[in-house]
Structure 1
Amino acid sequence: MTRREISDEVWAVLEPMLPAVKTAGRPWTDHRSAVEGAVWKYRTGAPWRDVPERFGKWNSIYKRFNRWAEDGTWEQLLAEVHRLADANGDVDWVVSIDSTIARVHQHGATLPRTTGAPPNHRNPRAEPPDHAIGRSRGGLTCKVHLVADGKGRPLSWVLTGGNINDTTMMTAVLDGIRVPRSGRGRPRTRPDRVLADKGYPSRANRGWLRQRGIAATIPERDDQIAHRRRRPGRPIDFGHQQQARYRGRNVVERCFNKLKQWRGIAMRTDKLARNYRAAIALAATLIWLRTSLINTA
């Protein structure tokens, strides 16, 4: 026997959220086989053509994964899981933000860096012009800027090239938080507090958080402290209480550890940023299901 990629307990919660199964036309690979085939591919980092036949035809699995990445189905699944977790009071709104680098495999860097769509704030799934691939010290890399809740589960993320500075992406990542309510009302978009390291303490970031009533625990860099001594100003409060809060920032590092257990996420082989983002959404959905809704390891 081969082990299931998704346990029966997780599937029982996930299945009702999936789109209706097509009944007309050619026989369709059932949803569980298709989703498990996609999970297997990204867990192992193997090419699509190597997906085992027990999941169905690899091309059918790829086409469904690609279609759902294009129409936003994977992110809608994650939003539904966020909604259920919030209804259960399981979302910890003291969030942590950071970024991680993923090397881009040569098979994922074959498209010209000018074939994406122009930036479009109305469509967050629009393909960026550079496909979120940049050249940094590690070669061709993709950076995942991510915010996790206080229990280390992904809430929102943005993909950029690996050469993009962290501090410039803080507002975009936090702006992506959208946790739907079970009843009437707008999705929740503002956490109670943001924990971040010394890559984020710009004046613009602090002002943006202050305007929205979001508390911040962000230490200053040495150069900022020295500048304040030359030109006295209002000091940043980072006493014992703030230091105690800051210890909780490690949850975002643990979140990256969970995501990078998937080899197809640890090294990007997708040509399109849209599909790589969908793979992260799939992994994030399973992380939330296992740790929140069914409370299994």
Structure 2
Amino acid sequence: MPRLMLTDELWSKLKAILLEDRVYNKSEHRQTIEGILYRLRVGCPWRDVPEYFGLWNTIYRRFLLWSRKGILMRLFKSLSTDSDTEWEFIDGSYVKAHQHGTGAASEQPQAIGLSRGGNTSKIHLAVDSYGLPIEFIITGGEVHDSK
């Protein structure tokens, strides 16, 4: 059995937030979220998520649906309001963009900028006193952390 992350107390908070977003109260949602967290923590392909969490395809489809509807972002935002902000730390990390990742016609803005390393994006992350994320943004690679 894989290591689990959600305690009963944390699941009750997550369940209330999911119900606010009109996600049905299904018993398998807890295992689905555990499967999503497992995949994000381990970094394995979706097909390699253990069967203990359910069918990998179901977990992937729910992750994709909840991401597109903004449910996971609202979940993150509501959980980050309970943070200890006595101390806040910020940091940025560069992500190199693929050479074919720019130039396509799209209505959505692309967070890709030209820096000394080439085409890059930058993930800016702010964490609280415990090192838990409270805010993040993705910008072009030329944007400085202090901005």
- TM-score range normalised by the length of the shorter chain: 0.7 to 0.9
Structure 1 residue 31 displacement after superposition: 0.9
CA distance in 2, matches of 1:135, 1:47: 31
Which residue of the partner structure matches residue 47 of structure 1? 45
Structure that is richer in helix per residue = 1
CA distance in 2, matches of 1:6, 1:39: 9
Of 84, 96, 101, the match for 2:94: 101
Which residue of the partner structure matches residue 144 of structure 2? 166
Which residue of the partner structure matches residue 10 of structure 2? 10
Of 129, 147, 152, the match for 2:131: 152
The verdict on how the C-alpha distance between 1:102 and 1:10 changes in structure 2, with shifts beyond 3 A counting, is farther
Structure that is richer in strand per residue = 2
| Contact kept in structure 2, 1:92 and 1:149, CA below 8 Å | yes
Write the letter of the residue equivalent to 1:117.
E
Query: For structure 2, which runs of at least 5 residues remain unmatched after alignment?
Result: none
The structure whose RCO (Cα within 8 Å, separation 6+) is larger is: 1
Structure 1 residue 79 displacement after superposition: 2.3
Structure 1 residue 44 displacement after superposition: 0.9
1:235-272 per-residue CA deviation (whole Å, 9 max, x = no partner) reads xxxxxxxxxxxxxxxxxxxxxxxxxxxxxxxxxxxxxx
Write the letter of the residue equivalent to 1:158.
I
TM-score (norm 2): 0.72
Write the letter of the residue equivalent to 1:3.
R
Helix, strand or coil: the match of 1:156? Answer: strand
Write the letter of the residue equivalent to 1:67.
L
Helix, strand or coil: the match of 1:37? Answer: helix
Structure 1 residue 46 displacement after superposition: 0.8
CA distance in 2, matches of 1:40, 1:141: 28
Of 31, 55, 58, the match for 1:57: 55
Structure 1 residue 48 displacement after superposition: 1.1
**Match status 1:32 vs 2:22:** no
Write the letter of the residue equivalent to 1:17.
I
* Greater Cα offset, 95-104 or 67-76: 95-104
Structure 1 residue 43 displacement after superposition: 0.8
CA distance in 2, matches of 1:110, 1:73: 31
Write the letter of the residue equivalent to 1:144.
I
Identity %: 31
Which residue of the partner structure matches residue 143 of structure 1? 122
Of 97, 106, 117, the match for 2:107: 117
**Match status 1:80 vs 2:78:** yes
| Contact kept in structure 1, 2:80 and 2:133, CA below 8 Å | no
Q: CA RMSD in A?
A: 3.3
Q: Which has the larger radius of gyration?
A: 1
Structure 1 residue 133 displacement after superposition: 8.2
CA distance in 2, matches of 1:51, 1:145: 28
TM-score (norm 1): 0.40
Query: For structure 1, which runs of at least 5 residues remain unmatched after alignment?
Result: 120-127, 171-297
Aligned residues: 144
Write the letter of the residue equivalent to 2:142.
I
